[in-house]
Amino acid sequence: MMEESIKAITEKVQANCQFVDLVLMEVRKVIVGQRYMLDRMMIGLLTEGHILMEGVPGLAKTLAVNTLASSLDMEFKRIQFTPDLLPADILGTMIYNQKEGSFEPKRGPVFANLILTDEINRAPAKVQSALLESMQEKQVTIGDQTYKLPNPFLVLATQNPIEQEGTYRLPEAQVDRFMLKLNVKYPSKAEERNIMDRMTDGNRIAPKTVANAEDIFRARDVVHEIYVDERIRNYIIELVFATREPAEHGLENLGDLIEYGASPRATLALITAAKAHAFLRGRGFVIPEDIKAIGFDVLRHRLSLTFEAEAENISSDEIIQNLFDHIEVP
């Protein structure tokens, strides 16, 4: 009976995931490489999970989000975070209408489907909190009125890992609200040559609209149905608890490196993102490889490392790899 149910779910997945290939095909007409980043953006859309991207400037982060929005017929807004930014600059404010003699709301740029917040750590804490509140509540209050944000609504924030002067570090509690944190890498030699040839030939390719919000909504419903075996669920719990109690899981060497382990949000994000990862690969069930593929993006910003780990130059990714190497795979 279970096999028949999984087969039925897989058929629904394969029927509803075809639009993803069409969307990525359009995006790749503009974006060279960056398959990892594009894959994770689709996972964010399918799970309503916001994404924090860390990478040096010039890696096509803005162009990728803009192109994705165009191919999905969604509204895109880019907000450049600066030290003088105010919450009203992103949320909106009340303005006086002289003709009517009354105040009326002016909505800010956050009222869009896909929001790219460039260099989120350049704005002070008050602005960061205002954005993260809208991400969590999916609504904005202007004056005495509350307005729902569009659906789909996805925030992709960027951080520059090089420059730290004039920045405001995001507190761990705020970073935890991002479902995934991506480390965006440089392109390969072949990809960079392709970028050079494509971007200097004078031709600009405009992506076609091949899907819409309804396709995303249908896909989300199917993602929720994807089967997760009890052994996979226990595997997720073991991974998360190993970050909190490493010694009890045979990882005594990590005890002095992890100050605080992953929160319950990590547990929820692991299972949800793993379902979306399986969906993108046409499967109606989650396998351990889905957890391993998405685990670094879910956990790397949720581990608070000790001073000793920083002194020894040990990264979160190294600790997560240690977890995957040690925790028994079902």
Q: Model confidence over 59-115: pLDDT tens digits?
A: 778 888 888 888 988 888 999 888 888 888 888 887 877 777 777 888 889 999 999
47-61, 107-121, 164-178, 227-241, range with the lowest pLDDT: 164-178
pLDDT for res 255:
80
The arithmetic mean of pLDDT across residues 46-62, rounded, is: 85
pLDDT for res 165:
61
The arithmetic mean of pLDDT across residues 236-243, rounded, is: 93
The closest alpha carbon to 45, from 270, 219, 285, belongs to 219
108 φ, ψ (degrees, to nearest 5): -85, 180
Q: What is the pTM of this model?
A: 0.88
Its domain, for residue 290, covers 226-326
Would residue 5 count as lying in a domain?
no
Summary mean pLDDT of the chain: 86
Task: Compute how many other C-beta atoms are within 10 angstroms of the C-beta atom of residue 274.
Answer: 27
Same domain, 195 and 232: no
The arithmetic mean of pLDDT across residues 317-325, rounded, is: 91
Q: Is the pLDDT of residue 163 over 70?
A: no
pLDDT for res 166:
59
Q: How confident is the model at residue 291 (pLDDT cuts 50, 70, 90)?
A: very high
Q: How far is CA 133 from the centre of its chain?
A: 16
Which residues have a Cβ under 8 Å from the Cβ of 41 and sit 6 or more positions away? 51, 64, 65, 68, 156
Q: Is the pLDDT of residue 1 over 60?
A: no
Domain count for the chain, please give it.
2
The arithmetic mean of pLDDT across residues 163-181, rounded, is: 76
Would residue 3 count as lying in a domain?
no
Q: Please, where are the H alpha helices in the chain?
A: 2-16, 18-27, 35-47, 61-71, 87-91, 125-137, 172-175, 189-199, 213-225, 230-244, 264-280, 288-299, 307-311, 316-326
Q: How confident is the model at residue 227 (pLDDT cuts 50, 70, 90)?
A: very high
Q: How confident is the model at residue 269 (pLDDT cuts 50, 70, 90)?
A: very high
Angle value at C-alpha 29, between 26 and 32, nearest 5 degrees: 120
The arithmetic mean of pLDDT across residues 187-209, rounded, is: 81
Give the pairing type, strands 51-54 and 154-159: parallel
Q: In this structure, what CATH number is given to the domain that contains residue 175?
A: 3.40.50.300
Q: Domain end: 181, 214, 247, which one?
A: 214
Would residue 8 count as lying in a domain?
no
Same domain, 242 and 320: yes
